[in-house]
Chains A and B, each alone.
Chain A
C-alpha cells in the first residue's frame, strides 16, 4: 500500500516566485492536513481539508497562502510571492476519518528553500 506521497521533496524558489506543493493521501483517505516545520522547531498546523472543503484554516497565514483538495487529484498548498521566512519543511498528513479516532499518516515532507 502506498503511503502519503508528497512532491517535490525539495523545492528552491527565489523571493517573489510561487511555490506549489502537492500531496497525494493514502488511497481511500478523505481527510488531509498540512503542517509546517521551521528549522529546529515542532510542527505547526496550517490547514485541514476534506474533499472539496476547507474545514479549518486557522493556522494558515491570510495572505499569500492557499490550499485545496479537489474531488479528483492531489491536495495542493500554494504559496504566492514567497519570502525567506517561508523556508521550512511542509508536511502533509492524511487520515481515513476524523482525528483523534484515527492516526494521521504523514508524508515525507517538502523542503522549501527561498533564496
Chain B
C-alpha cells in the first residue's frame, strides 16, 4: 500500500521569499505519479504540478517546481517568490500506474500562511 507523509502541519513565510513544502512517499511499485494540489479557504482543489516516477527532470510550472529525489523517496514542492494568494492548504498525493490502483493517496497537508 502506498503512503504519503507531510511533516509540516503549518508554515509561515514572508512575502516574496521562496518556500519548500516537504513530502515523502512510500511504495514498492516502480511506476507511479506524484501530484501537488492547493486548497484555498474557499475549498476547491487546484492542481499545481505532476512528476512521473520515470521522469528524468524535475517538473516545473511557473513559480512551482518539484524537487524529486527518487532514492530518498521525496517530492518537495518549491514555490518561488511567494505571494499573499499562496496562503492555502497544500496536499501532496500519489497514484500508482497498475490497473485498479489509480486512486490518489493524499498526505495530511501543510497550511501555508504568507506574511505581508
Q: Tell whether A100 pairs with B32 under 8 Å between CB atoms, given A48-B103, A56-B101, A109-B43.
A: yes
B104, A43: Cβ atoms under 8 Å?
Answer: yes
Which residues from chain A contact B50 at a C-beta distance below 8 Å?
100, 103
Which residue in chain B gives the minimum CB-CB distance to A34?
A: B103
Is there contact, CB below 8 Å, between B44 and A100? Answer: no
Interface residues as binary, A22-60 with B (CB distance below 8 Å gives 1, 0 otherwise): 000000000101010000011111001000000110110
A31 to B108 alpha-carbon distance, docked (Å) = 25
A52 to B77, CA, bound (A): 37
Cα of A58 to Cα of B93 in the assembled complex, Å: 17
Known contacts A42-B91, A42-B107, A100-B32; decide if A106 and B45 are in contact (CB<8 Å).
yes
Tally inter-chain residue pairs, CB-CB below 8 A: 75
- Chain B residues contacting A59 (CB-CB under 8 Å) are 103
Min CB–CB distance B9 → chain A (angstroms): 10
1/0 contact string of B76-107 vs chain A (CB within 8 Å): 00000000000000010111110111111111
Q: Contacts A100-B95, A103-B35 hold; do A42 and B104 have CB atoms under 8 A apart? A: no
Q: What residues of A have a CB within 8 angstroms of the CB of B44 in the complex?
A: 106, 108-109
Q: Is the interface of A mostly helix, strand, loop or mixed?
A: strand
Give per-residue flags for B7-33: 1 if the beta carbon is below 8 A from chain A beta carbons, else 0.
000000000000000000000000011
Could you tell me if B100 and A56 are in contact, using CB atoms closer than 8 angstroms? yes
Residues of B within 8 A of A33 (CB): 102-104
Smallest beta-carbon distance B106→chain A, Å: 4
Contact code string A73-109 (vs B, CB < 8 Å = 1, else 0): 0000000000000000101010000111101111011
**Given contacts A91-B45, A100-B95, could you give 7 more A-B pairs where the C-beta distance is less than 8 Å?**
A42-B91, A45-B105, A99-B95, A100-B52, A104-B47, A104-B95, A106-B44
Q: List 14 A-B contacts (CB under 8 A).
A: A35-B104, A42-B109, A43-B104, A43-B106, A58-B103, A93-B45, A100-B35, A100-B97, A101-B33, A103-B47, A106-B37, A106-B46, A109-B43, A109-B44
Residues of B within 8 A of A (CB): 32-35, 37, 43-47, 50, 52, 91, 93-97, 99-109
A residues bordering B, Cβ < 8 Å? 31, 33, 35, 41-45, 48, 55-56, 58-59, 89, 91, 93, 98-101, 103-106, 108-109, 111
